[in-house]
């Protein structure tokens, strides 16, 4: 905790970033948070049907780009590697795509890279820690629960003045929030967007917006697209969505620093405005439920369960419901596609 103790007071996003990504004690840097033994389970680990639908979508999107003979497929933050494994298995049915595609994982966590390399051994995959290292071929980016894992800033308006949230602490188990007056116009100049308009509360991820902007610029320049799947909302009015999870339960992010997964809900309305401001780009947006149903997940479940025992059938449909159920991930999770304006592709939307 040396780095933290020296500073004592940090803006909320810097505090979260250290809690999650500090090399010595950061949550993602030292543990595998996925699965039953971890703190949460992501869609690819619930059912392989999820990744199979993404594989079909990728093939179709690649065809919309003119089936280029060289294409990059990049998974942003690949968790335990389960999705990439199923994607490559599915692509064996499409040998021309398999021969054309360079598979890349963008991952910051050394712990997770080791986990992914175990899961994906004998497969031809490159790992990168900087997006600048991507070549200039058309690139398809897949981001499943990637953007929610980045630190957020929060601001609150009181008596026509804006205040930013900071964290004060004197040891790793004793921290509290305080507020500091800020000039919101400076922030708006930096992000080139009037984020405070009609708002009394602001929550946004500086790191997430940087990723979104840089990836979108790559898509504009080299062609391709970003398929973004995450929990979030589309209402224009911003909400406080900061939350922490430990051992599949909600926890206090100010306690046991480095032991909690700290996340937030994506404001897709804000993402849409940023995409518009970049120009010559277009986005499509829907719920995970609608996307997976349009991709044929129900039919696929019928086909694979046809000759199975009642118990195995039940398991398949239980997992399917977790992905598309209204009270499960179906409506909470949203899907956004960002692509060049001239590309009319809209499968799944």
Is residue 349 assigned to a domain? no
Which residue do the tokens 């401001």 mark? 277
Is residue 136 assigned to a domain? yes
pLDDT in tens, 131-175: 988 999 999 999 999 999 899 999 999 999 999 999 987 766 678
* Cβ within 8 Å of residue 305, ≥6 positions away: 312, 313, 316, 317
How far lies 45's CA from each of 79, 85, 137, 193, 284, in Å? 10, 11, 30, 37, 25
Q: pLDDT averaged over the chain? A: 91
For residues 5 and 223, the model is more confident at: 223
Alpha carbon distance 195, 238 (integer Å): 10
Alpha carbon distance 336, 143 (integer Å): 10
Which DSSP symbol is given to 145? S
CATH of the domain at 198: 3.40.50.12710
Which DSSP symbol is given to 253? T
Q: Which two tokens stand for residue 267?
A: 């404001």
Alpha carbon distance 317, 323 (integer Å): 10
For residues 32 and 169, the model is more confident at: 169
**Mean pLDDT within 187-205:** 92
Is residue 345 assigned to a domain? no
Is residue 119 assigned to a domain? yes
Q: Residue 280: give the domain boundaries.
A: 2-340
Considering the chain, what percentage of its residues have pLDDT values greater than 70?
A: 93
Is residue 38 assigned to a domain? yes
Is residue 117 assigned to a domain? yes
Beta carbons of 18 and 26 less than 8 angstroms apart: yes
Residue 294: Cβ within 10 Å count: 16
Torsion 252-256-259-263 (CA) sign: positive
Question: b vs e for 245-278, b when ≥16 Cβ sit within 10 Å of the residue's Cβ?
Answer: bbeeeebebbeebbbbbbbbbbbbebbbebbeee
**Mean pLDDT within 4-29:** 80
Beta carbons of 152 and 138 less than 8 angstroms apart: no
The total number of structural domains in the chain stands at: 1
Is residue 347 assigned to a domain? no
Is residue 128 assigned to a domain? yes
């Amino acid at each position: 905790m040396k780095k933290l103790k020296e500073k004592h007071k940090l803006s909320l996003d810097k505090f979260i970033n250290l809690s999650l990504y500090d090399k010595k004690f950061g949550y993602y840097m030292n543990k595998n948070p996925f699965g039953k033994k971890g703190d949460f389970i992501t869609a690819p680990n619930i059912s392989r049907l999820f990744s199979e639908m993404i594989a079909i979508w990728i093939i179709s999107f690649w065809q919309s780009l003119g089936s280029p003979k060289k294409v990059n497929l990049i998974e942003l933050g690949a968790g335990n590697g389960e999705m990439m494994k199923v994607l490559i298995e599915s692509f064996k049915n499409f040998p021309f795509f398999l021969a054309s595609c360079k598979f890349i994982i963008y991952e910051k966590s050394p712990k997770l890279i080791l986990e992914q390399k175990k899961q994906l051994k004998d497969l031809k995959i490159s790992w990168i820690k900087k997006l600048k290292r991507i070549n200039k071929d058309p690139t398809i980016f897949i981001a499943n629960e990637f953007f929610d894992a980045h630190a957020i800033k929060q601001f609150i308006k009181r008596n026509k003045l804006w205040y930013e949230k900071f964290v004060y602490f004197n040891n790793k188990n004793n921290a509290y929030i305080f507020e500091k007056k800020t000039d919101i116009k400076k922030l708006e100049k930096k992000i080139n967007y009037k984020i405070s308009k009609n708002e009394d509360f602001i929550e946004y991820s500086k790191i997430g917006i940087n990723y979104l902007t840089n990836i979108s610029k790559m898509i504009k320049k080299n062609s391709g697209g970003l398929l973004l799947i995450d929990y979030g909302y589309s209402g224009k009015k911003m909400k406080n969505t900061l939350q922490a999870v430990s051992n599949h339960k909600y926890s206090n992010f100010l306690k046991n620093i480095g032991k909690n997964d700290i996340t937030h809900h994506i404001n897709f309305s804000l993402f849409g405005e940023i995409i518009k401001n970049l120009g010559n780009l277009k986005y499509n947006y829907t719920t995970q439920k609608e996307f997976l149903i349009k991709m044929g997940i129900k039919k696929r479940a019928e086909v694979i369960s046809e000759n199975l025992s009642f118990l195995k059938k039940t398991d398949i449909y239980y997992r399917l419901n977790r992905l598309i159920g209204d009270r499960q991930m179906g409506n909470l999770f949203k899907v956004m596609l960002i692509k060049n304006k001239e590309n009319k592709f809209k499968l799944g939307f």
